[in-house]
A and B are shown apart, each in its own frame.
Chain A
Amino acid sequence: MAVPETKQKIIGRSLPRREDPPLLRGQGRFAADINFPGQWIMRVVRAPIAHGEIRSIDASAALALRGVHAVWTYKDVAHIPRIPFRLTGLKTLEPYQQPVLADGVVRYVGEPVALVFAEDAYIAEDAAELVEIDIAPRDVVMNASDAPGAFDDGHTTEADVIRKGYGDVETAFRNAHAVVSLELVVGRHTGVPMETRGAIATYDAARDLLEMHGAAKVPHWNRDTMARMLGRTPQTMHLHEGHVGGGFGIRGEIYPEDVAVCAAALAFERPIKWIEDRREHLIAANHSRQQQHRIRAAVDKNGTILAIDDEFFHDNGAYMRTHAATVPDLAAAMLPGPYRVPAYRAVGHIRLTNKTPCGTYRAPGRYESTFVRERLMDAIAAQCGLDKVEVRRRNLLPQSAMPHDVHLDTLGTHIVYDSGDYALLLDKALRLAKWDALQAEMKARRATGETVGAGVAMFVEKSGLGPFDTVRIEIKTDGVEVVTGNASVGQGIETVVAQICAEVLGARYETINVVHGQTDRIARGMGAFASRVTVMCGEATRMAAVKLRDIVLKAAAELMQTSAERLDIADGQIVSGDGGASMPLTSLAGLTAEDTFESSHMVYPYGVHIASVRVDAETGGVTVETYAIAYDVGRAVNPRLVEGQLAGGLAQGIGGALYEEFLYDEAGEPLSVTFADYLMPTAHEVPAPLLLVTEDAPSPLNAFGLKGAGEGGVNPVGAAIASAIDDALQQPGAVTQLPVTPQRLKALMKR
């Protein structure tokens, strides 16, 4: 039973965010806001066709423009290796890595081919339009599930195949009472943060120091890697994160443009600034999600799963970027979800196509595999004549099974669900959504001719990826400074870390400043991705705060002529138990402690979503009328921030379910290049969700029981809405493809 918020000390309270004041006042320092005297602006010249051999590049007209300083092509960056892998980097994928500029061949519309350096952004853009590229077109590969084509001499467009599984799948299917088979597609879409990408590099020749502003997500890894790529030691390069306008997995990976600004700053010994526009972002920043699955389940007569067998085709676009095989690997590893799956096989084909390269996007691999798995559960229900809630209940792993070894690996860890009471959360979700009344209402409205229905989806998420995080806390004269190796993408880590530090150390919340994203402030760090920060940085903060508290009390005891046991720190004051003198914590400025939390296992939050929709039979439009989310987070440091993550994820999930899709024509020309083509939900499209955050299954793997919240809002939204649309149409299994656009829905209704 969760302790009511009013009774929480500091952890567990929805305190206002430390981050907000400068952002509200327009004092943010986003990449585009950062300028250096004498800077040049870099503008990327991008491939106008999807596949071809570069015959020539003529920059003479561009160079003749007043204010243009230089134009680079591949020969200027040939000394820089291709961009390496950060996660799940299989050796077989290395031939598909992306160069900083196209190396003789262009493979997607938008690929960087040349770089213009000019006095200002307008001149740079004028000049970029004057660069002439002569390309001999080649055939394009646009479909990841067709037979593979040629990537280059010696490599096909099937980069590798992910295989995961356990148990005897064949026997299970032979002995099955019934087999359910589905073919399902998730459309290509991605995070699309409101801030586009940007980077500003400066080089101080006197100190031989290269710095890049506009970093995000994984500044230490990026610094180490880019330094290596540019032939420098890590100590001679620093990355700086300012304010970041959303990440969602897309921003912060090493892109060609980041390496290019750094190389240019070194070469010209000038600050080099690059800010992309929205059209560039939509064709050059990582895409995601596009997978086609052929999945089947063997079930017994009670609708109990005997085995799941899934083969899928993952469309990774034109190159393998920093995430390598991460997305298909996670899709295969997390597909079983909260259910008992005695035998399992997943085969994931990693395919290259002449489209924008892909990477991770919030709940990567899981938005896809939850859609597929939950469609399967609904299909099993239909096949066996069961209620769709009942079929899930029958197959859920019980709480007594925890910790549950899933017999699968991903992200370098073995998947063991640490804690969870899925059936309990299902009950709470059904109560939250008033499921029985909702079903009755849907039925009654359908009887009057409305096309309405409700659906459900369940999932297990992953969070708290290690392997470590280090935190250093120092008492300052005006408060406390917590230095982390983590990063902010806007999620509120300064607030969460300050709350933990305040409660454990006894400092005043309002005086705690949290440093993140600066490689020159702490030697190593793991950044922000995979919903890891609250867990990893949170626990490291607790550990460092415990250490510092001891150090402070020892020092204070001497000064106050008493013993440490008699002292406490509360609200920024060191107080004596016997009501004697007190002293402010800040008077011990200079005291510092550091600690590292190491973890080789992730922690696994979980949730249930319930959606109800109304379909406009005439237009095929879908209105999401109600949406309920029940999510167990283990322990909520700041409940309102957890809810904010769920609500934000829901909006993105609705986008992927109904609106967002990157389309291409048959020649590989991208058709979704503005916000008029690529439609994202507005306040109209996202209902006010019912949110229930529970703490019934704290993690045994860290002291506070923390699990992550970043991806629990988006994970099953495609699945839940598909389930609701099926119900509205009274056609089980109708929805097999996302997004469910009006055209696709009308086609379904015609059946």
Chain B
Amino acid sequence: MTEKQSITLTINGRAHKIAVEPRRTLADAIREDCGQTGTHIGCEHGVCGACTIIVDGAPVRSCLMFAVQAGGKPIRTVEGLADGDKLHPMQQAFMDHHGLQCGFCTPGFLMLAVGVLEREPDISDADLIDVLSSNLCRCTGYQNIVKAVRAAAEEMRK
């Protein structure tokens, strides 16, 4: 155990001043130190993508980052997607297309899809499936997730 460092994590526009060991993962800091438990931990070794968030505009696996690396960078998690009562088009699309069952992998997929589509709104379908194959889901068999993301992509392009 080493000395804790003071950092500020800015999550969905809100600053969280926390003190963490250098080895504390960003996922753990977001969940435990900042109380935002919408981001889930599925494997802690960067394969499943349940912990995917958006850092500085790019989808990243928060289990593979240390909290101290994210100080000062804008972080977006699933809790920041909806606009009050109004769901983000991606969230609405997942609901419309039955893109979730247990919901554990869902925040990771939402942030992955939103992050990619914001950077590449005209991404090809083949590339989109490539991106979606980054994250694991054990419940849905993926097809409804793909349908939902395609529908949201159209909506987001408007």
Q: Contact residues of A with B, CB < 8 Å? A: 14, 16-17, 19-21, 23-28, 30, 32-33, 66, 121-123, 126, 191-196, 243-246, 248, 277-278, 489-492, 640-641, 643-644, 647-652, 674-676, 680, 682-684, 686, 688-689, 713
- Number of B residues contacting the other chain (C-beta, 8 Å)? 56
Contact A19 B103 (CB under 8 A): yes
| B97 nearest CB across to chain A (Å) | 9
In the bound complex, what is the Cα–Cα distance between A248 and B102 (angstroms)?
11
Decide: A24 and B106 in contact? CB cutoff 8 A: yes
- The answer to whether B95 and A16 touch across the interface, beta carbons within 8 angstroms, is yes
Q: Which residues of A contact B135 (CB under 8 A)?
A: 682
Contact for A490 among B24, B31, B139, B146, CB less than 8 A: B139
B67 within 8 A of A: no
Complex CA gap A489/B103 in Å reads: 10
- Contact of B15 with A by CB under 8 A: no
Other A-B contacts than A21-B87, A194-B40, A713-B141, 13 sampled, CB-CB below 8 A, are A20-B95, A23-B100, A28-B37, A193-B138, A194-B139, A245-B40, A278-B43, A640-B98, A647-B141, A649-B141, A651-B140, A682-B142, A684-B133
A23 touches B45 (CB 8 A): no
Q: Is B103 a contact partner of A28 (Cβ separation < 8 A)?
A: yes
A21 partner, pick from B36, B95, B104, B138, beta carbons under 8 A: B95
Please measure, in the bound complex, the distance between the C-alpha atom of A123 and the C-alpha atom of B1, giving whole angstroms.
8
User: B21 touching A644 by the CB < 8 A rule?
Assistant: no
Q: Which residues of B approach A to under 8 Å, CB–CB?
A: 1, 21, 23-24, 28, 31, 36-45, 47-48, 50, 77-79, 81-82, 87, 91, 94-96, 98, 100-107, 110, 129-130, 132-146
Q: Which of B38, B95, B136 interacts with A28 by CB under 8 Å?
A: B38
For the complex, give the distance between the alpha carbons of A589 and B37 in Å: 35
Distance in angstroms from A611 CB to nearest chain B CB is 14
User: When the two chains form their complex, are residues B136 and A32 in contact, meaning their CB atoms are under 8 A apart?
Assistant: no
Residues of the B chain whose Cβ atoms lie less than 8 Å from the Cβ of A196: 42
A66 CA to B1 CA, complexed, in Å: 10
Contact B102 A25 (CB under 8 A): no
Closest A residue to B111 by beta carbon equals: A26
A25 partner residues in chain B, CB cutoff 8 A: 38, 78-79, 81-82, 87, 91
Contact A26 B37 (CB under 8 A): yes
Distance in angstroms from A215 CB to nearest chain B CB is 15
State how many angstroms separate the Cβ of A740 from the closest Cβ of chain B: 20
Q: Cβ of B79: which chain A residues have Cβ within 8 Å of it?
A: 25-27
Q: Give every chain A residue within 8 A of B110 (Cβ-Cβ).
A: 24
Q: Considering only CB atoms, which chain A residue lies closest to B23 in the complex? A: A122
A648 touches B104 (CB 8 A): no
On whether the beta carbons of A243 and B103 are closer than 8 Å, the reply is: yes
Is B101's CB under 8 angstroms from A689's CB?
Answer: no
Q: How far is it, in angstroms, between the C-alpha of A713 and the C-alpha of B141 when the chains are bound?
A: 10
Partner of B143, one of A14, A492, A652, A686: A686
CA distance A649 to B137 in the complex (A): 12
> Separation in Å of the A454 CB from the closest CB of chain B?
20
Residue in B21, B28, B78, B104 whose beta carbon sits within 8 Å of that of A30 in the complex: B104
Smallest Cβ-Cβ distance to B43: which chain A residue: A278
List, in ascending order, chain B residues with CB within 8 A of A676's CB. 45, 47
Within the complex, which residue of A21, A123, A644 is in contact with B140, where a contact is CB–CB below 8 Å?
Answer: A644
Q: How far is the CA of A16 from the CA of B44 in the complex (A)?
A: 32
* Contact present for A195 and B104 (CB under 8 Å): yes
A322 CB, nearest partner CB in chain B, Å:
22
Q: Which of A194, A680, A686 contacts B50 (CB 8 A)?
A: A194
Contacts of A33 in B (CB 8 A): 31, 37
Task: List, in ascending order, chain B residues with CB within 8 A of A123's CB.
Answer: 1
Q: How far is the CA of A650 from the CA of B47 in the complex (A)?
A: 21
Cβ contact within 8 Å between A683 and B142: yes
Q: How far is the CA of A678 from the CA of B80 in the complex (A)?
A: 33
* Separation of A706 and B7 alpha carbons in the complex (Å): 56
Partner of B38, one of A27, A192, A278, A652: A27
* CB-based contact A244/B95 at 8 Å: no
Query: Which of B82, B133, B134, B137 is packed against the most chain A CB atoms within 10 Å?
Result: B137
Q: How far is the CA of A647 from the CA of B101 in the complex (A)?
A: 11
**In the complex, are the beta carbons of A648 and B101 less than 8 A apart?**
yes
- In angstroms, how far is the closest chain A Cβ from the Cβ of B144? 7
CB distance from B86 to the nearest CB of A (A): 11
Known A-B contacts A246-B139, A641-B98, A650-B141; A683 and B38 likewise in contact (beta carbons under 8 Å):
no
Beta-carbon contact of A26 and B39 below 8 Å:
yes
Return chain B residues, CB-CB under 8 Å to A674. 43, 45, 47
Set of chain B residues within 8 Å of A652, measured between Cβ atoms: 138
Q: Could you tell me the distance between the alpha carbons of A491 and B101 in the complex, rounded to whole angstroms? A: 6
Taking CB atoms, residues of chain A closer than 8 Å to B104 are 28, 30, 193-195, 243, 245-246, 490
Cα A20 to Cα B45 in complex, Å, equals 28
7 pairs across A/B with beta carbons < 8 Å? Answer: A23-B106, A26-B38, A30-B37, A278-B43, A490-B102, A647-B144, A686-B143
A648 to B94, CA, bound (A): 15
Q: How far is the CA of A649 from the CA of B105 in the complex (A)?
A: 16
B139: A residues at CB distance < 8 A? 194, 246, 490, 644, 648
Chain A residues whose CB sits within 8 angstroms of the CB of B78 once the complex forms = 24-26
- Cβ–Cβ contact B141 & A686, under 8 A: yes
Given A30-B40, A278-B44, A675-B136: A651 in contact with B142 (beta carbons within 8 A): yes
| Inter-chain contact B102/A244, CB cutoff 8 Å | yes
Note all chain B residues with C-beta closer than 8 A to A246. 101-102, 104, 138-139
Contacting residue for B102 out of A32, A194, A641, A684, CB 8 A: A194
Give A675's nearest chain B residue, CB to CB: B47
B82: chain A residues at CB < 8 Å are 24-25
On whether A688 and B143 interact (CB within 8 A), knowing A24-B100, A193-B104, A644-B98, the answer reads: yes
* Cβ 8 A contact of B42, one of A195, A643, A682: A195
User: A675 contacts B45, CB within 8 Å?
Assistant: yes
CA A682 – CA B142 in complex, angstroms? 8
**CB within 8 Å for A194 and B94 given contacts A28-B103, A123-B1:** no
Closest chain-A Cβ to B4's Cβ sits at a distance in Å of 11
Which residue of A25, A66, A194, A680 has the most chain B CB atoms within 10 A of its CB atom?
A194
Shortest CB-to-CB span from A289 to chain B, Å, is: 16
Taking CB as reference atom, which chain B residue is nearest A275? B41
Contacts of A30 in B (CB 8 A): 37, 40, 104
Per the bound structure, the CA–CA distance linking A684 and B37 in Å amounts to 29
Instruction: Report yes or no: B141 in contact with A490, Cβ–Cβ below 8 A.
Output: no
**Separation of A26 and B37 alpha carbons in the complex (Å):** 7
Q: Is the CB of B42 within 8 A of A278?
A: yes
Instruction: Please measure, in the bound complex, the distance between the C-alpha atom of A248 and the C-alpha atom of B38, giving whole angstroms.
Output: 23
In the assembly, what is the distance between CA of A243 and CA of B24, in Å?
26
Closest B-chain residue to A23, C-beta based? B103
Q: A644-B101, A676-B47, A683-B129 are in contact. Are A191 and B138 (CB under 8 A)?
A: yes
> Cβ of B96: which chain A residues have Cβ within 8 Å of it?
16
Q: What's the least CB distance linking A54 to chain B, in Å?
A: 29
CB distance from B24 to the nearest CB of A (A): 7
Chain B hits for A277, CB < 8 A: 44
CB distance from B90 to the nearest CB of A (A): 9
User: Is the beta-carbon distance between B138 and A680 smaller than 8 angstroms?
Assistant: yes
**Chain A residues within 8 Å of B42, by CB:** 194-196, 278
Minimum CB–CB distance from A610 to chain B (whole Å) comes to 16
The smallest C-beta distance from A128 to any residue of chain B, in angstroms, reads: 14
Q: Chain B nearest CB: distance from A277 CB in Å?
A: 6
What chain A residues lie within 8 Å of B144 (beta carbons)? 644, 647
User: Is A682 in contact with B44, judged by CB distance below 8 angstroms?
Assistant: no
Q: Which residues of chain A are near B136, meaning CB under 8 Å?
A: 194, 675, 680, 682
A683–B91 Cα distance when bound, in Å, is 19
Known: A30-B104, A648-B141. A675 touches B91 (CB 8 A): no
A491 to B102, CA, bound (A): 7
Q: With A and B bound together, what is the CA distance between A202 and B23 in angstroms? A: 30
Q: Give 6 nearest A-B pairs by CB, closest first.
A: A26-B38, A490-B102, A23-B103, A245-B104, A647-B141, A26-B78
Please report the C-alpha to C-alpha distance between residue A647 and residue B139 in the assembled complex, in whole angstroms: 8
- Residue pair B138, A647 in contact (C-beta under 8 Å): no
Asked if A32 and B41 make an inter-chain contact with CB atoms under 8 angstroms apart, the answer reads: yes
> Which of A28, A674, A683 has the largest count of B CB atoms less than 10 A from its CB?
A683
Given contacts A30-B104, A32-B41, A489-B102, are A192 and B138 in contact (CB under 8 A)?
yes
